[in-house]
Amino acid sequence: MRILMTGATGLIGRELGKALAARGDTLACLVRGGRAHLPFPADRFDWRHDRPVPKEALAGVDAIVNLAGEPVADGRWTPRKKALIRDSRVLGTRALVRAALESGESLKAFVQGSAIGYWGDRGDEVLTGRSAKGAGFLADVVDDLEAGLRPLTERRPDVRTPAVRTGVVLARQGGALAKMLPLFRARVAGRLGDGRQWMSWIHIDDIVRLFLHALDSRANGVLEGVAPRPATNREFTAALCRSLGVFENAPAPSVAIRALYGEMGTIVLDSTRVEPALALASGFDFRFPSIDAALDDLLAPLRGSMREKVSEQWVPRQPAGIWPYFCDEKNLEELTPPFMRFRVLGKSTHEIGNGTLIDYRLALGGIPFAWQSRIEDWAPPHRFADTQVKGPYAHWHHLHEFVPMAGGTLMRDVVRYRLPAGWLGSTVAGCRVESTVAEIFRYRADRIAERFGKAG
């Protein structure tokens, strides 16, 4: 299939794009400026929600997946923020539907990313896709968003229009869980309010599979993007602490949350107990039905104060064409930001392979360090790792993967590290180190794109 997707740089969009490319689909992505490095190949078209969709973006498209929308949990809801939350979804959907009616002759499905905010704050009431709309700002936004599909359903009844109302997506590398982890690691977080409010959540793997199901099956109408077993905030907090291996702290009072976040605090204080009756009836099965199973899968690698950073980008070269560059340790200097003053001093073997020791000199926070790493898991041209033998971290393991995808390579870097001085070191320096590691990966991705970004 050829699929037109919005929201490709978001948490769900990046994972969905990889899954689609890996199975052989081609993608066109509507993006808002910038040149973010996507982990999958795609034709890009510049677009904003308040502008018409380029007609050429619809050429040969079999399906549209609309995931665009201003994040709702980033900062207080000022009048300007609320207008952007609404317009990015409602106006964006209308523009896509208008383009589909004008230029989508080959279109077979329009999969709409929606949200469980449609049901509002409903206490202990069990909700499904058949339940009535709730009250509140987000409920009105979602209602207007889904109403934008009606012209397409009325004029093109041959086009399926499933709407996936997504709950809290759990992932290590983004979304709500990633924002919670620093506070729980620092032992300063607990349940929110009285903890009795229901959280309707879903594992990142399951929500991606549900969008694939919406594309491939005969499903139509509302699909609940939530796991079969919602959890109260009290249950969620206990499961998170247990999976991460930390102690739960005192709860955050509701009055404090509302004072700090204003109306946006309703996201974590409202109770929405959704069960996926329509998703299950459509034939979808969940790999992670319980909160314990989901959090154990996501957080097991992070126990013991371990931290993780993942960077992915796709380049139009086969792994064998990229591998030689990474066999030369001197090229690491080109891939490292100048502020680190990184220099390779030498290696223990003539050719890099399993067991090779490489010595470096670098600076962290302006402080010079000597570093020695050992090469492990050497599997040309697909994988190798370097592990710190001597250096500033209590633990540092960097896995480099070169995965064949769509005629090119998905380059994946996974760093897992632990700071010295245990809980104290993690609390004092954790955020600063995370931002430094993120900056290193951004610089590295730009250099890789410059060197390998064109085929040939």
| Model confidence pLDDT, tens digit, residues 222-233 | 999 999 999 999
Average pLDDT (235-239) is: 95
pLDDT at residue number 114:
98
Residue whose token pair is 């041209």: 381
| Tens-digit pLDDT profile for residues 317-369 | 999 999 999 888 889 999 999 999 999 999 999 999 999 999 999 998 788 99
pLDDT at 39 > cutoff 60 = yes
Lowest mean pLDDT among 384-388, 391-395, 424-428: 424-428
DSSP string, 105-133: TT--EEEEEEEGGGG---TT-EE-TTSPP
For CA atoms 347, 348, 349, 353, the dihedral sign is negative
Residue whose token pair is 């951004």: 442
Q: How confident is the model at residue 423 (pLDDT cuts 50, 70, 90)?
A: low
Average pLDDT (243-250) is: 88
Q: Is 274 exposed, middle or buried (0-12, 13-18, 19+ CB in 10 A)?
A: buried
**Which amino acid does the sequence have at 267?**
I
pLDDT at residue number 455:
55
Return the DSSP state at 132. P
3-state secondary structure of 314: strand
Residues in the chain: 456
pLDDT at residue number 34:
61
CA–CA separation, 192 and 258 (whole Å): 11
Give the percent of the chain with pLDDT over 90. Answer: 80
pLDDT at residue number 133:
97
Q: How confident is the model at residue 312 (pLDDT cuts 50, 70, 90)?
A: very high
Higher-pLDDT residue of 425 and 392 is: 392
Helices (H), 288-397: 291-299, 319-326, 331-334
Using only C-alpha atoms, the chain has a radius of gyration, in whole angstroms, of: 23
* Closest-CA residue to 186 (of 431, 418, 356): 431
Average pLDDT (205-217) is: 98
pLDDT at 427 > cutoff 80 = no
Higher-pLDDT residue of 127 and 263 is: 127
Helices (H), 186-318: 204-216, 233-244, 254-261, 266-269, 277-281, 291-299
pLDDT at residue number 456:
39
List domains and CATH numbers for the chain: 2-302 (3.40.50.720), 307-452 (3.30.530.20)
CA–CA separation, 430 and 424 (whole Å): 9
Q: What is the pTM of this model?
A: 0.94
CA–CA separation, 127 and 200 (whole Å): 10
CA–CA separation, 264 and 247 (whole Å): 27
Average pLDDT (15-34) is: 94
| Tens-digit pLDDT profile for residues 293-310 | 999 999 999 998 899 999
Cβ atoms of residues 38 and 5 within 8 Å: no
| Tens-digit pLDDT profile for residues 115-138 | 999 999 999 999 999 999 999 999
User: In the predicted model, what is the mean pLDDT of the chain?
Assistant: 93
CA 82 to chain centre: 23
Average pLDDT (36-40) is: 89
